[in-house]
Structure 1
C-alpha cells in the first residue's frame, strides 16, 4: 500500500468502482514452471482480500495470473505491499493481512510464512529477511528457519529499505501521524542489528534505492500541500546528504547510471490536482535528464502505480492500476524508452520481482 494519504486520494474513486463490483483474483489454473521472468504482486483493493501474484514468462511472453493460488489453493490476501526473490524463494509482504508469505520460486508451492504486524517492505542480508513494519520496527527473519530472530527500533512508520555493505538504510514516513510526519532515514548496523543514527532529510519519506557508486536515493512525498515531493542523495561513506535535487519524485528504480522517477503530484488543497511526470537522473553525474519514455506511450497510462528495472536487461516495467478495482496493466520499455509490450494483470499491480532459474 502506498503512503497513507496517497491511498486516501484514490480511495473515493476506487470505492465508487468497487461498490459496483469487487473483482476477485482470476480463477487459478495449473501453476506454470517458473524459469525466467517477472513476478508481479497485485496489491488488490483495501479490505477486498483480492491481492494476488502473477508471473510473466519472458520466453512465452505470457502473463500467468494468480499463480500462488494455482499452486496452493485460494487465498484471501489483503493489500500486497512488496515482493522480492532471494535464493530459491519468493517473498510476498501482505500488509493488511499481517503476513510474510514465502514460496518456492520455481513451483510456487508454499514454503511457510510469518505473522508480522502491518508489514511494509522487505530486503535481505546474509540469510536474513529484513521487513519494515508500521509498528516502528524492522523485523529480522531467518530465511532458513523462517522464524523472527529480533526486531530493530527505527523511525515512525518505516517504508522502503535498502542494504549497502553492512548497513541498512530505512526511509521513515510517519504517515500515520499526518500531518506530523517523520523526516529521517534510519541507519542500521547489520553486524549488530542496532540503529546507529538517524539522518534528517525531509518529511514523509518513502522510496529508497542504492546505486553502484555507494549512494542511496530517497524520496520525500511532501505533505500533499505546501511541501512538495523531492529527491535526495545520501553518501553512504559519510551518511551525509550530498545533493538535494529539488525535483518531484515518488516512485523510483535504478539500473546502471539511470535513476528512473515517476511522480504523481497530488494536492489536498483547492484546486485539487493530479499531475504525473517521468524523469531520469544520471547517478554518475547527478544531473537531470529527459523523460525516459520517448515514444509518447505515457499518455496511455491511467494510474501509474509501480516501477522496476530488470537488473540484467535494463528493461523498465511500469504498473498501471487503472481503476484500482478491475484488471490492471503492466508496460515494458526498452532502454531506448520505447514500449516493447504490455499485458493485463490482477487488481492494482504495484510491485515486481525478477527471477531466473
Structure 2
C-alpha cells in the first residue's frame, strides 16, 4: 500500500469545492463528455467511485455509458439533490448486486444503497468504519474496523456485519481479526483479510474463516502481516496481499488453498490491488517505503494455473510512465479492456485510462479525486 494509506486515514486534507449552494450544503453539478465510440455488448457501462481525501467530504460517483461513449462525472449529487453532504467521506468500495448499487463510505460510517439503473438513493445503512462488501444469496457482508479512525495500539478486534439485502437492515455481526479489509466467499465460507493497521507495529497476520450457515468464526489462518486484498480463482485458491511494514518487510502475495484452509504458496511480487480475469491476475503496486521516502510503482500479470508471474508490465506503450499513483484496476468482462486509474497527488482530480487487452492506450479522461472502485452494469457472468 502506498503512503496514501496514512494520508487518507490519519492525516486528511480539508478542502471543499464550491460551485453552487443549496441552503447550508454544496451541490457540485455533473459534467458529461464523449470519450469513445459507442460499444454494444451485454455491458451497459460502469460506475466509478472516487474516494476523495479524508475529511474533505468529496467522495463522488462517475458513470461511463458504453452505449453512447459518454462519460458522466459526479452524478450522485445531481441525482440525489436532497441528500445532505452528498455521498460522504472516503468511498472505500463499490458493488452491484441484483438491482442495487452499494457504495461503502468509510469515514461517513455508512453503506449507501442506490438503484443500480439510476444511482438514486434507496437507503443508508449505518456501519462503523466500514471497509468492503461482498454478497451471497440474500445477504451482504460488510467488513468493519469498528473503532474510531485513528492509530491506537489498543484498537479492538474488527467485525463483519450481515445485512439482509431485501430489508437493508443489519441482522447479525461476527467478531474477526484486527482491522479487517477485503473478503472473499468460497464453499460456504467467508474469508476475511485482517490487517491490524491501527495497531502498528503490531500488525495482525491472519485470515478469519467464517462459516456462513452459523455465521461464526471457525478458524484463523496465519499468513503474513498487514493483509489487505483477497481474491479467489476458479481453482479453489485465494490470493491475499501483505502490505509489509513499509520499512524492512516488503509487500508480497500469498496463496491459500480453500479446500484445506491452509497457506500453500507465495509469490515474490508487490501488490496494492489486483483484478482476476479467467486464468490471469492483473496487479499493480504503489509500495511506500519510509527508509527510501518514496513509492515504488510496479505492474504485473500472474498465471493462476501455473501460479507464477508471467509479465512485469501489462501496459505496453509506455503510458505507465505517465501514471503517478495507480489506484484502481478493472477488466472489462466482454472486451477485456484494461482500466487503470491514477490518483496523482490525492487532492486533485484523477485520471482514468482505458487500455486494449494488448496494453495499448485507447482513451483517458478526468475523474473525481482518488478514483478507485469499479462496478460494471449489465449482464455479468460469474466465472468463479
Structure 1 portions without partners, runs of 5+: none
RMSD: 2.1
1:257-313 CA distances to partner (integer Å, 9 max, x unpaired)?
A: 1111111121112x3221100011100111111111111110110211111222333
Q: C-alpha offsets along residues 169-218 of structure 1, whole Å, 9 cap, x if unaligned?
A: 11100001011100011111111111110110000000111111111100
Of the three residues 35, 40, 53, the one matched with 1:45 is 53
Indicate if the aligned counterparts of 1:77 and 1:97 stay in contact, CA closer than 8 A.
yes
CA distance in 1, matches of 2:12, 2:189: 39
Q: Is the 8 A contact 1:14 1:324 kept in 2?
A: no
Count of residue pairs brought into register by the alignment: 346
Identify the residue that residue 105 of structure 1 maps to in structure 2.
116
Residues 29 and 75 of structure 2 are in contact (CA less than 8 Å); yes or no, is this contact kept in structure 1?
A: no
Alignment partner, residue 27 of structure 1: 29
**Post-superposition shift, 1:6?**
4.0
Compared CA separation, residues 330 and 29, structure 1 to 2 (3 A): closer
Deviation at 1:14, TM superposition (A): 7.8
2:152 alignment counterpart: none
For residues 87 and 312 of structure 1, the distance between their equivalents in structure 2, rounded to whole angstroms, comes to 19
How far has the Cα of 1:10 moved from its partner?
7.2
Q: 1:268 & 1:10 partners in 2: Cα distance?
A: 16
Structure 2: gaps spanning 5 or more residues: 19-26, 33-42, 147-157, 380-384
Contact 2:188/2:212 (8 A) holds in 1: yes
8 Å Cα contact 1:138/1:153 also seen in 2:
yes
The secondary structure found in structure 2 opposite 1:176 is helix
Alignment partner for residue 314 of structure 1, among 321, 326, 336?
336
Q: TM-score, normalised by structure 2?
A: 0.85
Q: Distance in 2 between matches of 1:168 and 1:183?
A: 17
The aligned runs of 1:123-142 (5 Å cut-off) are 123-135=134-146, 136-142=158-164
Instruction: Identify the range of structure 1 (140-149 vs 333-342) with the bigger mean alpha-carbon deviation.
Output: 333-342
Q: CA deviation at 1:108?
A: 1.6
Q: What displacement does 1:63 show?
A: 1.5
Q: Which residue of 2 aligns with 1:327?
A: 349
Partner of 1:116: 127
d(CA) in 2 for partners of 1:283, 1:76 = 37
| Contact 1:79 1:96 survives alignment (8 Å) | yes
**Is 1:36 aligned to 2:36, yes or no?**
no
Question: Match for residue 301 of structure 2?
Answer: 280
Could you tell me whether the CA contact under 8 Å between 2:337 and 2:356 is conserved in 1? yes
Name whichever of 79-88 and 336-345 sits farther off: 336-345
2:68 match: 60
